[in-house]
């Protein structure tokens, strides 16, 4: 085994929900639903084992997303350190995945952040890649920062990109949410393909006001009526509705019952800012065919776990 490598990294990464209604491509929330990823440096070869979600991609080898991110992060750390350490002799990857794939809960962002976090823990110069640089790398790989930011930092994040790259502001938030996950999937690329190139000025102005109100409602403890108004969206959910009619209909039913509900990310999962008991009281509005999860906001983001036995 090459000298210098740390032998083992165990990482836990949270699911995320982006957009949150009017905060298109800017707001994100970390949730208490997790993937656990273990990466071990071995004497040679590449071994991948996946339990749970995404088990069918275990055979992708070097094309597995976490493996690609590990390689890219190792290369970047070598560049930063000028070490020429190169690749570890071998890797063993074991994933226990609970975040649904292609459902709007940030599974690809979780994989990216898991790979970066594990690489920082394994590489002898991992400390050279701080969180701001990790966010920049994750955004480069994912294409936008709204899911990778809460996955990395936890809590509620406001992310944007400027001349110096992606930035984020993290806010503490203690709140229960309920997510409704359908069996069907929806590729993010398809959902984005339904968005128009331009939108009416009135809709853009309305979303700007609602996004500001949403931050105030979530962090200021405002009542559910204000939160219902704050989660109104005119930029993306309506345009994407034809690709997920059941999800769009559930959002409408919940909102008609006074529950602040939105499409999670690109969908088709629905997120409601409410408790499980409140949802149970309006069971007829929810209907059947949904996997319901009552979750908290995760306050920590990606964490390196103790090695264990």
Is 104 annotated as contributing to ligand binding? yes
Is 102 annotated as contributing to ligand binding? yes
Looking at residue 230, which CATH number applies to its domain? Answer: 3.30.70.890
* Look-up of token digits 């088990």: 55
pTM score, two decimals? 0.94
In our burial notation (b when 16+ CB lie closer than 10 A, e otherwise), range 24-54 reads: bbbbbbbbbbbbbbbbbbeeeeeebebeebb
Is 26 annotated as contributing to ligand binding? no
Better-scored residue on pLDDT, 286 or 102: 102
Is 103 annotated as contributing to ligand binding? yes
Nearest C-alpha neighbor of 69 from the set 19, 33, 135, 117: 117
Segments forming the whole domain that contains residue 205: 176-296
Is 214 annotated as contributing to ligand binding? no
Is 109 annotated as contributing to ligand binding? yes
Better-scored residue on pLDDT, 265 or 276: 265
51 strand-pairing partners: 96
Is 82 annotated as contributing to ligand binding? no
Pair 112, 67: CB distance under 8 Å: no
1 pLDDT band, cuts 50/70/90, is very low
pLDDT digits (tens, 9 = 90+) for 69-122: 999 999 999 999 998 888 899 999 999 999 999 999 999 999 999 999 999 999
Q: Of 143, 172, 201, which residue constitutes the final position of a domain?
A: 172
Do 20 and 168 fall into the same domain? yes
pLDDT digits (tens, 9 = 90+) for 207-232: 999 999 999 999 997 888 899 999 99
CA distance 21 to 270: 11
Is 108 annotated as contributing to ligand binding? yes
pLDDT digits (tens, 9 = 90+) for 135-161: 999 999 999 999 999 999 999 999 999
Is 107 annotated as contributing to ligand binding? yes
Please count the CA atoms within 13 angstroms of the CA of 124 that sit on its side-chain side: 13
Looking at residue 159, which CATH number applies to its domain? Answer: 3.30.230.10
Nearest C-alpha neighbor of 130 from the set 116, 109, 141: 116
Q: Of 112, 146, 172, which residue constitutes the final position of a domain?
A: 172
Pair 154, 28: CB distance under 8 Å: no
Q: Which two tokens stand for residue 88?
A: 């570890």
Do 162 and 234 fall into the same domain? no
Report how far Cα 88 is from the mean position of its chain's Cα atoms.
28
């Amino acid at each position: 085994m090459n000298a210098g490598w740390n032998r083992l990294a165990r990482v836990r990464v949270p699911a995320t929900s982006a957009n949150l209604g009017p905060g298109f491509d800017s707001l994100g929330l970390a949730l208490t639903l997790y993937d656990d990823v273990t990466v071990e440096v071995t004497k040679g070869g590449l071994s991948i084992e996946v339990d749970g979600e995404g088990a069918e991609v275990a055979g992708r080898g070097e094309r597995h997303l976490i493996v690609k991110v590990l390689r890219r992060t190792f290369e970047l750390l070598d560049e930063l350190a000028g070490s020429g350490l190169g690749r570890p002799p071998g890797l063993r990857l074991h994933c226990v995945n609970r975040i649904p794939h292609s459902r709007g809960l940030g599974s690809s962002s979780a994989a990216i952040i898991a790979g970066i976090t594990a690489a920082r823990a394994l590489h002898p110069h991992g400390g050279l890649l701080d969180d701001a640089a990790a966010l920049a790398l994750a955004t480069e790989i994912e294409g936008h920062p709204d899911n990778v930011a809460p996955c990395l930092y936890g809590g509620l994040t406001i992310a944007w990109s400027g001349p110096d790259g992606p930035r984020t502001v993290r806010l503490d938030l203690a709140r229960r949410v309920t997510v409704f996950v359908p069996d069907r999937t929806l590729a993010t690329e398809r959902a984005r393909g339904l968005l128009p190139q331009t939108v009416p000025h009135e809709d853009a102005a309305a979303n700007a006001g609602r996004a500001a109100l949403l931050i105030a409602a979530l962090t200021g403890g405002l009542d559910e009526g204000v939160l219902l108004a704050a989660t109104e969206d005119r930029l993306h959910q309506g345009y994407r509705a034809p690709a997920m009619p059941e999800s769009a209909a559930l959002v409408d039913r919940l909102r008609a019952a006074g529950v602040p509900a939105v499409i999670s990310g690109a969908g088709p999962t629905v997120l409601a800012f409410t408790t499980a008991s409140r949802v149970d009281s309006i069971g007829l509005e929810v209907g059947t065919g949904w996997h319901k999860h009552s979750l908290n906001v995760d306050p920590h983001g990606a964490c390196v776990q103790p090695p264990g036995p």
